[in-house]
């Protein structure tokens, strides 16, 4: 690639060079951007910049020549037309304190790639970004969907949804974050999109637990199905639209995260199911499983809103060592012996939700060329 060709590409910054940050950087570069990654460790920045590899997080994947990397935030953010954040949700606020002065004169969209809730405050990532950067919420977008990093880095086709309170921001980010193997759709339901990405992690931990115990497909299918009900009840109580939870950020991400051994949250749950303590699981994981940190703040928000989340409640009991993992499945969907209907607490009927969601996904894929459609 000539210097003239590279100079003509829009300059994009990705803050965080773990598996998902690097993968999304590749998505953006393959879509026509020059991407500058920020990595905390100098050796990782050097490997991405010189060898076009990230061997620790994406083994065997070659990165585009239009990706570079630096350990200096100022270099990564200089001239960026869009900024993507892919760091641990619990470390976001502290990292943004260093980012804020570097973006003080910029109006670039800021995009969250994170799927977590701040433990201390219970805030979503877009809310933390708004607080720390002191920026207009219309500049903030979030990306979510069935997005297992290694599969996407290997260019296996998938889709995601970009959400912002501003339709213009969502459209601009969606147009940039797409290529031949990665499609983006849009909506303006930031609450539903973010909580979909958070809550599916908690259900994936439950799936991992029962998988580690040795339970089969019936148990897992029932947890996934009722888990979607819990996700919808919670998100709607927080102000989300129920249909968002039946889209890519809800059902789509739930299926991918629960069913794949590539999922960090699934892996963490499986270790718990095999008898490892919470502390041992954290030590064994070389990447952050966001679901583990989000259980407590999500349950706090659920109780405040009067929403019942029996699956998540019992995941917390396993994490706390108060429940044997083998006892989790019989008590997942009800607290007593009274028969219950399948309707969600918010009154929407779950019947046919899966078919409607899959049908909509097919329609989206058929119409994914041109302007990003709504999710």
Provide the 10 A C-beta neighbour count for residue 369: 10
Active-site option among 200, 220, 283, 316:
200
Encoding tokens for residue 362?
Answer: 């097919």
Please say if 283 is a catalytic residue: no
Q: Which residue has the tokens 């147009």?
A: 175
Cα–Cα distance for residue pair 158/47, rounded to 1 Å: 27
Cα–Cα distance for residue pair 152/136, rounded to 1 Å: 31
- Residue 131, Cβ density class (10 Å: 0-12 exposed, 13-18 middle, ≥19 buried): middle
Nearest-CA neighbor of 53 among 35, 71, 65?
A: 65
Where would I find the beta strands (DSSP E) of the chain?
11-15, 34-38, 67-70, 82-85, 110-112, 140-144, 158-163, 182-187
As a 3-state breakdown, the chain gives helix, strand, coil percent values, each rounded to 5, of 55, 10, 35
Which residue numbers are catalytic?
200
């Amino acid at each position: 690639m000539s210097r003239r060709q590279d100079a003509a590409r829009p300059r994009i910054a990705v803050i965080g060079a773990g598996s998902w940050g690097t993968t999304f950087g590749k998505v953006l570069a393959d879509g026509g951007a020059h991407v500058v990654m920020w990595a905390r460790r100098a050796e990782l920045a050097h490997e991405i910049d010189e060898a076009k590899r990230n061997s620790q997080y994406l083994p065997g994947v070659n990165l585009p020549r239009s990706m570079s990397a630096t350990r200096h935030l100022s270099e990564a953010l200089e001239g960026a037309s869009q900024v993507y954040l892919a760091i641990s949700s619990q470390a976001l606020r502290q990292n943004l304190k260093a980012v804020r002065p570097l973006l003080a004169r910029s109006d670039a969209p800021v995009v969250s790639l994170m799927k977590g809730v701040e433990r201390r405050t219970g805030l979503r990532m877009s809310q933390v970004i708004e607080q720390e950067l002191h920026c207009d919420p219309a500049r903030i977008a979030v990306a979510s969907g069935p997005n297992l990093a290694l599969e996407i880095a290997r260019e296996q086709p998938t889709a995601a949804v970009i959400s912002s309170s501003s339709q213009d921001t969502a459209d601009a980010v969606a147009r940039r974050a797409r290529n031949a193997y990665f499609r983006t759709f849009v909506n303006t339901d930031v609450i539903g999109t973010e909580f979909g990405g958070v809550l599916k992690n908690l259900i994936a931990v439950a799936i991992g637990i029962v998988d580690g115990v040795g339970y089969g497909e019936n148990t897992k299918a029932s947890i996934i199905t009722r888990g979607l009900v819990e996700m919808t009840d919670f998100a709607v109580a927080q102000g989300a639209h129920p249909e968002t939870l039946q889209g890519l950020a809800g059902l789509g991400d739930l299926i991918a995260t629960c069913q794949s051994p590539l999922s960090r949250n699934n892996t963490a749950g499986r270790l718990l199911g095999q008898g490892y303590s919470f502390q041992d699981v954290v030590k064994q994981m070389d990447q952050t499983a966001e679901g583990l940190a989000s259980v407590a703040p999500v349950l706090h928000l659920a109780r405040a809103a009067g929403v019942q989340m029996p699956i998540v409640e019992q995941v917390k009991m396993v994490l706390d060592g108060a429940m044997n993992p083998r006892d989790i499945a019989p008590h997942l969907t009800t607290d007593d012996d009274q028969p219950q209907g399948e309707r969600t607490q918010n009154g929407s009927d779950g019947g046919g939700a899966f078919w409607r969601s899959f049908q909509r996904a097919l329609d989206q894929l058929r119409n994914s060329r041109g302007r990003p459609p709504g999710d």
